[in-house]
Amino acid sequence: MNALDTLAQLPRLNLRGFTSPVQHLECLSAKLGVEVWCKRDDIGTVGLAGNKVRKLEVELAYAIAQGAKHLVVEGSRLSNAARAVAAAAAATGLQCTLVLCHDEPSEAVGNLLLDGLYGANLRFVGNVSWAELAQHAEAVVAELENTGERVYRLPIGCASARSSLGFALAYAELHEQMASQGREIGTILHASSSGGTHSGLVLGNALFGSPSTIRGIVVAGEVYDDVPGQYLAFAQGGARLIGAQLELTREDINLTEDYLGDGYGLSAPGVMEAIDLLATTEGILVDPVYSAKAVAALIDLAAKKELEGPVVFWHTGGYHSLFDPHYSRKVWCGIERLSAMQL
Ligand SMILES: Cc1ncc(COP(=O)(O)O)c(C=O)c1O
């Protein structure tokens, strides 16, 4: 069996329940002067929407086969990964503990409200670094195992060699969808932080003979000491799991920090324009923490004629932060036509 067949037969859950559509964004394409499509991974149920669903479909099939009964994942108060894990745990009858790097907030809003509703146990460990957060998560795993729990730990953003296979499968899905429209994929552009999305798309692309350019728009700095090295390790590890003989190197990892702005969850140039443009031209929502930074890049790179079309903007989800008062205020004040309205 070749690696693509092994990939296609990988055990996985069907958490989203349907194949996410790919949509030609005609109005946006006309505005930007390049053919733009959108892979709508933002669509799903409230809990099981966004890019983490891809990773969890593969990772949880494996965890359940190993006999896991309790999931542990770390993240920020805003974490879409934590919320998706909480929802997936509820949907599959598993227990779940989220280790969150914030002081206990006074209000449960946005993803935090959903985490609680889905029945997750919440552990707040204060304002710590990503590395310290991982240590806290390990301590929680040890504590649960000491009480006899069968725990499966998911790393930050659910990024791993195994979960990157979820995105290699996603690449294959997109390839088929675009082919059925008679289109090839010139460039895929997406928001990137913990790396599972990028490494999986890079792997999928390589399995198909590298026909496309995969561009990761970095939205969180310093997730790892060596970010491209860690992404490459995920892609190579994923390749090994399906027996693919590929020569993946650092050159295959294509990341830019040009649109990171002040950092994770903080302002960046072009973000408000991106939210406004996509909402008003296509009725699609992007959030200020993740996907709007990728759309800001799309707008800027299209203006500079640096994108080979057709371009697929991979919508990784995350609209939930629009309903977090901190970000709703920022978005309302940051978009002039909204702030001009008297509320
Ligand atoms: C909405 C959204 N987009 C993009 C990303 C980045 O994906 P990855 O962690 O696979 O790099 C995340 C990760 O948390 C996310 O929640």
Mean pLDDT of the 138-145 span? 98
How many structural domains comprise the chain?
A: 2
- For residue 148, what is the domain's CATH number? 3.40.50.1100
How far is residue 162's CA from residue 132's CA, in Å, rounded to a whole number? Answer: 23
Q: State whether 56 and 80 are in the same domain.
A: yes
What is the side-by-side order of every strand in the sheet holding 121-124? 121-124, 95-100, 70-75, 151-154
* Distance between CA atoms of residues 153 and 158, nearest Å: 9
What pLDDT does 78 receive? 81
Look at residue 165 and tell me whether its pLDDT is greater than 80.
yes
Q: In this structure, are 177 and 244 located in the same domain?
A: yes
259 lines ligand 1 (CB under 6 A): no
79 classed as catalytic = yes
Residue 1, pLDDT score: 80
- Structural domain that includes position 326: 3-46+160-339
Q: How far is the CA of 158 from the centre of ligand 1 (A)?
A: 9
5 CA from centroid of ligand 1 (Å): 27
**Relative to the CA of 317, which ligand 1 atom is closest?**
1
CB 112 within 8 A of CB 133: no
Residue identifier of the C-alpha nearest atom 7 of ligand 1: 192
Of the candidates 20, 79, 163, 291, the residue annotated as catalytic is 79
Q: Is the peptide bond before 228 cis (omega within 30 degrees of 0)?
A: no
Q: Which residue type, as a one-letter code, is found at position 41? A: D
Q: 34 and 61: one domain?
A: no
pTM of the model: 0.97
Give the pLDDT band of residue 341 (cuts 50, 70, 90): very high
Residue 110 confidence (pLDDT): 87
Nearest to 132 by CA among 102, 169, 170, 89: 102
Per DSSP, the residues of 211-272 read -SEEEEEE-SS-SSSSHHHHHHHHHHHHHHHTT------GGG--EE-TT-TTSTTS--TTHH
Kindly report the protein residue whose alpha carbon is nearest to atom 9 of ligand 1.
194
- Confidence class of residue 342 from pLDDT cuts 50, 70 and 90? confident
Q: Are residues 196 and 149 in the same domain?
A: no
Per-residue pLDDT, 287: 97
Which of 240, 194, 200 lies closest to 79, judged by CA?
194
Report CA(194)–ligand 1 centroid distance (Å): 7
**Per-residue tokens: 118:** 């889905």
Q: Does the beta carbon of 164 lie inside 6 Å of ligand 1?
A: no
